Structure 1
């Protein structure tokens, strides 16, 4: 009887040198959640819950949901107060379908400035605490974990971002405060600090891990590390594994929180790579990430979340990004598994 691994590869054959799977989206994969050794999730918006095709694919392959944006401050905090209709619906949908729920995001540098503008220092602190208590408290017992602080490190990795939270509450102090308030509101949730380009940019990855160390030394109840893993498929082999190894040294659970891998090259000279070559790179980077993550001890693996169900659901396929050709996720518009799905499946079997 041929192994599942040989079936995955044999039906399509090998591609160019160094490739380990076919670029053709015609090789079936088992339900991803059935072969993953940890939670495998995706993101959702309420409009997608009414799409039968999306729902069918999500329920077949995933067992955890992260609200894509409707649990963030830009949605919940309005001039008239808090609105919870959309995140409530996602939470209820997860409960009804036996899906775990991951909450994101309580504090993000890019949100909240207008709503907090003009507050006195005392009112600013009170409203900061009140927001975290209201949101984290509302879903206490319903979420496995929270992204408490999102994208704190500067884009180039040179220090931390400067923004209204830091200006009003302190560069490190606002993060410590956010973790403390989240812990009070939802004591059992795993509390994450989350960021992107940590594998792609070693300098940013190092700055991020130094920030984790600073927060822990300051007594912040950081419970986990989230790496978004929007992977650059052209980074050198071994770079992803190195970051996973370094992040694991804290002993905290790691969450691969927003995984995708664009086959496009942004900026620079015209991209003359063939589709097959780019697909090989994509497959190899996804396989490296998944293999390195799967080798961690069980208590360090919170789960792996893909940032969308189908390619057409991806933020990378929305204007102005979409050229109609990118395939950054596990399934294409026709629900066929892509090289991403096959890299995951091979790593897990």
Structure 2
């Protein structure tokens, strides 16, 4: 599907994953439980032997608030765009990995595993591929896979080897590969990928195969045939581009039947879109839908992980393809955590304990730290029984600490006392809803984590 608008090497065996976590967390006026205080979605998933990740694209790596979340919340990254053919082999035999390498390096720097996406897909192909004579195309495919998967050997834990090769009725999509090579091209692609990287898990990836139906039946039969023939397939990716209130009732059953064939399953591109604008009822339904998908994955041991197709509504592909729809992800466009985030958090085993009479809880954590400076995020959550119209967070800066720049709030300081009030757009929080603000700070000392207090308007 469309993508969202290193030095260390990693190998993933089964579901063992690296964990990217927050550097520090603080307390709130209504004290969070230990699970909330030390947990991210990535950490919670890792505790269950899985990953929870996000796709990303190169332009967003220059957005500091975005990368602060990307680098701390998730323990897996998918290269959303720049490992595709048009980027990696724009001219025949001429390869360019510059952009994808940058994303892989980011993941490695943050101890995140990488899913490769994708080696063979009929979209985002350079024009020259369509002009290759039929007798030469299989060799071109093999060479492309060898070069790309070989370049990332040892750095990518999964490869989406072939993407979206079936129509909705279960017939083969008549792509240039199907027309010029025939049915055997998928098996040949998997063989070439195994030769290029013997350790990466090899996946077939598609949309609308989340539940049981004609399309997923066809993929099931292909996988069963491959296993019988000894074709090296290790997993099936369910994209899960879903619609609000329409999570298939057979998701868990579908995951289980693939697992029983002896392959892993991953939720590879999860988003759940709605008609915009958002409202409290839609948010509640979306949270319920995200919870259902996570629970279905957790119910089957061989469902190894879940990836959202980018994490912030501001970087979703949905509005450009489905006019009037969007708000499909777990963070809003201002990087505030939506009810869907908390549904995923709790489904993965996180708990949030707050004091309801307080009406407001705030949690402080350091998301990045360097000599003389740091970046922090504060989550404000409505723990009361009615919607808030505004909120205020206060804490005391330690000696040597200062706030240099802040987003998603309005800062005032008085000596070492810092006060942040909501921005005009994030003061209203439905019951249970949350938002976040972040800041860049400087520090000349040990940079301790402060106690924070929160009050509602």
* Common topology (TM > 0.5): yes
Corresponding position of 1:331: 331
Whole-angstrom distance in 2 between the partners of 1:234 and 1:32: 23
Whole-angstrom distance in 2 between the partners of 1:333 and 1:116: 37
Whole-angstrom distance in 2 between the partners of 1:233 and 1:199: 14
Q: Which moved more, 1:211-220 or 1:111-120?
A: 111-120
Which runs of structure 2 are paired with 1:1-349 in the superposition (5 Å)?
30-36=39-45, 37=48, 38-79=50-91, 81-112=94-125, 114-154=127-167, 156-171=168-183, 173-199=184-210, 202-235=213-246, 238-264=249-275, 275-297=279-301, 300-317=302-319, 319=320, 321=322, 323=324, 326-349=326-349
Residue by residue over 1:114-135, the C-alpha shift from the partner in whole angstroms, topping out at 9 and shown as x without a partner, is 3234434443222211111000
Cα distance, 1:158–1:223 mapped onto 2, change above 3 Å: closer
Is the Cα contact below 8 Å between 1:200 and 1:235 reproduced in 2?
no
SS class of match (1:331): coil
Structure 2 unaligned residues grouped into runs of 5+ = 1-29, 31-35, 350-457
Which one has a larger percent strand, Structure 1 or Structure 2? 2
Higher relative contact order (CA 8 A, sep 6+): 1
Q: 1:32 Cα deviation (Å)?
A: 1.1
Q: Which moved more, 1:192-201 or 1:301-310?
A: 192-201
Q: Which runs of 4+ in 1 moved over 4 A?
A: 27-30
Whole-angstrom distance in 2 between the partners of 1:107 and 1:200: 24
Is the Cα contact below 8 Å between 1:328 and 1:340 reproduced in 2?
no
SS class of match (2:262): coil
Q: Which moved more, 1:143-152 or 1:338-347?
A: 338-347
Corresponding position of 2:418: none
Cα distance, 1:152–1:239 mapped onto 2, change above 3 Å: same
Q: Which moved more, 1:206-215 or 1:27-36?
A: 27-36
Whole-angstrom distance in 2 between the partners of 1:180 and 1:327: 39
Structure 1 unaligned residues grouped into runs of 5+ = 1-9, 11-26, 266-270
Whole-angstrom distance in 1 between the partners of 2:162 and 2:200: 14
Q: 1:30 Cα deviation (Å)?
A: 4.4
Q: 1:113 Cα deviation (Å)?
A: 7.0
Q: 1:68 Cα deviation (Å)?
A: 0.9
Is the Cα contact below 8 Å between 2:138 and 2:185 reproduced in 1?
no
Cα distance, 1:207–1:233 mapped onto 2, change above 3 Å: farther
Q: 1:28 Cα deviation (Å)?
A: 10
SS class of match (2:54): strand
Is the Cα contact below 8 Å between 2:153 and 2:196 reproduced in 1?
yes
Q: 1:310 Cα deviation (Å)?
A: 0.8
Is the Cα contact below 8 Å between 1:28 and 1:337 reproduced in 2?
no
Q: 1:303 Cα deviation (Å)?
A: 1.4
Total equivalences in the alignment: 312
Is the Cα contact below 8 Å between 1:105 and 1:149 reproduced in 2?
yes
Residue by residue over 1:221-248, the C-alpha shift from the partner in whole angstroms, topping out at 9 and shown as x without a partner, is 0011110111223336633223222222
Q: Which moved more, 1:219-228 or 1:203-212?
A: 203-212
SS class of match (1:82): coil
Residue by residue over 1:274-297, the C-alpha shift from the partner in whole angstroms, topping out at 9 and shown as x without a partner, is 944433332222211111211222
Which one has a larger percent helix, Structure 1 or Structure 2? 1
